[in-house]
Amino acid sequence: MQYRTLARTAVSAIGLGAMPLSIEHRPDEKRAIATVHAALDAGVTLIDTADSYHWHAGETGHNELLVARALAAYGGDTSRVLVATKGGRGRPGDGSWTVSAAPAHLKKAAEASAKRLGVDAIGLYQLHKPDPAVPWAESVGALRELLDAGTIRAAGVSNVTTDQILQAHRILGDGLVSVQNQYSPAVRDSEPELRLSERLGLAFLPWSPLGGISRSSLDGPSGPTSIGTAFHRLAAERDVSPQQIVLAWLLARSPAMIPVPGASRPASISDSAGATELRLNARELTELEKLLPD
């Protein structure tokens, strides 16, 4: 397993996106916990969750509670595992997502998340999405207060622009450690945010990193996917999965990159974790770049 720096500590270069374990089409709890345990067995030390990762109304924190139960039930050492959670979004139970990043809400949400995770302080707390009804500086200011109060040890921002990253960095200083935006072979709009993260020494956690190769959990069983891409052709040459090729490509794009692919089966995260041992050579990287969609 390769390691990269996040929240001033070394974490596995591939994390586990735990969202599929709690939202629509989620597995039963036995398989969900087995998936977390498979991640840990593979050397994964970063688990990404959020209070809004649930399916039905009244289930706020479902995923955080599940992750906490899985860690408690694991037979090995979990002291090096960093659980990163997020606040600022909601799910009313009808399939939609809401945004609520008012300072009072974020502070209460962080305290509730810490309680569900069973920790005195959250290792990494991320503002899930800017709220158009709340000035950005006020939402980020709530993270500053959470840091100062010791409720969280490090802060991150998600779904943000370069200007929002810079403003958050001015407010949070060294307390800001990560950016989590969508980034994949199919969606590379956040290239400027990735490069800014590099310059500022922030980790970049791409969400939906397998876009264009695998369905997102939010797409459901009928969601779009691709076959026959350059990633699939290289995977056949290397005798590995296309998902491993994508993750290896992401890791090669930047030392700041720490993908957190979602998984709902033990085999999926075990395969994803194996991408850290896959090295793409210069020719392969060049060929992939040539054939990426515009």
By annotation, the residues acting in catalysis are 53
Q: Are 211 and 262 in contact (CB under 8 A)?
A: no
Q: Are 141 and 103 in contact (CB under 8 A)?
A: yes
Classify burial at 110, counting beta carbons within 10 Å of its beta carbon; exposed 0-12, middle 13-18, buried 19 or more. Answer: buried
Q: What is the spatial distance between Cα 139 and Cα 103, in angstroms, rounded to a whole number? A: 5
**Residue in the block written with tokens 């709220």:** 131
Angle at 117 between CA 112 and CA 122, to 5 degrees: 80
CB atoms near residue 12 (< 10 Å): 25
Per-position DSSP letters for 205-233, written without gaps between them: --BSTTBTTB--GGG-TT-----S-HHHH
What is the layout of strands, in order, in the sheet containing 46-48?
Answer: 16-17, 46-48, 82-87, 124-127, 155-158, 176-180, 203-204
End-to-end CA distance of the chain: 32
Query: Which has the closest alpha carbon to 99: 144, 60, 130, 122?
Result: 130
Q: Which amino acid is at 161?
A: T
**Residue 32 DSSP SS3:** helix
Q: Cα 178 to chain center, whole Å?
A: 10
